[in-house]
Amino acid sequence: MSVIQSSGDKVFRFFNYIVLAIIGIICLFPFMNVLAKSLSAEGFVVAGEVFLLPKGFNVKAYIYILTNQSFWRSMGNSVYVTLAGTALNTILTLFVAYTVSRKHVVGRSLIMFLYIFTMMFSGGMIPTYLVVRQFQLVDKLEALYIPGLVSAFNLTIMRNYFATIPDSLEESARIDGAGNLRILFRIMIPLALPSIATISLFVMVGYWNDYLNPLIYITSTSKRTLQVFLRGVGNASKDINMNDFDSLSDLSLETIRGATVFAATFPILLVYPFLQKYFVAGATVGAVKQ
């Protein structure tokens, strides 16, 4: 059945599309500018003549970055932290969310309150560092994902999603002899895939873009992540072993910076389209507070 729209509705929708298109173009400007600089010749970049389209097409900066050992070492560290952190964070969040979503669990409201309390009040940077040091995680990549393995925000989304699943499904499974783990993995998780994909994307982007924690907890150059590497390239400082950059005189630092930023962003750009179809549905369904 088609819905008849008035002229006012059509005009309103048209202007919505125009506004959203303008916002989308504005969001793309910085990205396109960085990409254009990374593909431009040094002289045009230094002169400030590059805006949205490359001038003097040149891929030397990408060859320069992709043959750099420090870049790949940092990339590997970031990939490890992102994959391990996302997997553990998602699994633990699902376990806790399923538990507190069951009405028969004693103290589930108190558990949720304690988690939500951490969203408003945290222990602070110094106490968190002391805890990490007490567990002997300083200068270990595990320090970048273990301290925050359960997100209160993601827990709220998953808890509310699980709460919307009819109890009759769980009761039927228990009659057939299913236990809690079987119910979780065979019933709850397949039904909650949109929300799981959503929180996984949130967590993945968070770990990938994390800059502060590596700066605080990691001291060895070989264990630094991609974001710290980017900071070193951007500042041309000794935070990164600049001896690896043996041809800096042949390239503009701005061009190298642009190529590095784009190379660091590209993996996330590849992942997002596969999860995008779940994104809106997952965030909307689980966002209703009960």
Structural domains of the chain, count: 2
Residues 67, 54 share a domain: no
Contact 241, 160 (CB under 8 A): no
- Determine, yes or no, domain membership for 272: yes
**Per-residue pLDDT, 1:** 47
Residue 168: domain span: 60-285
* 91 and 206 both lie in a single domain: yes
Q: Is 212 within a domain?
A: yes
Whether 76 and 184 map to the same domain: the answer is yes
Residues 157 and 112 occupy one common structural domain: yes
Q: Give how far the C-alpha of residue 235 lies from the chain's centroid of Cα atoms, to the nearest Å.
A: 24
Q: Is there a single domain that holds both residue 161 and residue 93?
A: yes
Task: Please report the DSSP string for 13-46 in residue order.
Answer: HHHHHHHHHHHHHHHHHHHHHHHHHHTS-HHHHH
Question: pTM for this structure?
Answer: 0.80
- The angle at the Cα of 196, spanning 278 to 131, to the nearest 5 degrees, equals 135
The single-letter DSSP state of residue 2 is: P
Q: Which pLDDT belongs to residue 76?
A: 92
Q: Can you tell me whether residue 179 is helix, strand or coil?
A: coil
Q: Looking at the structure, tell me whether residues 135 and 258 fall in a common domain.
A: yes
Verify that 2 and 81 share a domain, yes or no: no
53 and 64 housed in the same domain: no
Of 28, 58, 88, the residue at which a domain comes to its end is 58
Choose the final residue of a domain: 10, 42, 58: 58
Q: Does residue 217 lie in a domain region?
A: yes
Assess if residue 261 is contained within a domain: yes
Which mean pLDDT values do the consecutive 10-residue runs of the chain (290 residues) have? 67 89 88 85 79 82 84 92 94 92 85 86 86 91 90 89 85 84 88 87 90 91 88 60 50 79 83 70 50
Do residue 113 and residue 244 come from a single domain?
A: yes
Assess contact for 90 and 203: CB atoms under 8 A: yes
Judge if 98 and 17 occupy the same domain: no
Domain annotation covers residue 188:
yes
**Of 11, 32, 58, which residue constitutes the final position of a domain?**
58
Do 244 and 185 share a domain, yes or no?
yes
Is 290 part of any domain? Answer: no
Name the CA dihedral angle for 261, 263, 269, 271, rounded to a multiple of 10 degrees.
-130
Q: What is the pLDDT of residue 3?
A: 57
Count CB atoms within 10 A of the CB of residue 86: 21
The answer on 150 and 34 residing in a single domain is: no
The CA-CA-CA angle for residues 105, 107, 109, to 5°, reads 100
282: buried, middle or exposed (CB in 10 Å: 19+, 13-18, 0-12)? Answer: buried
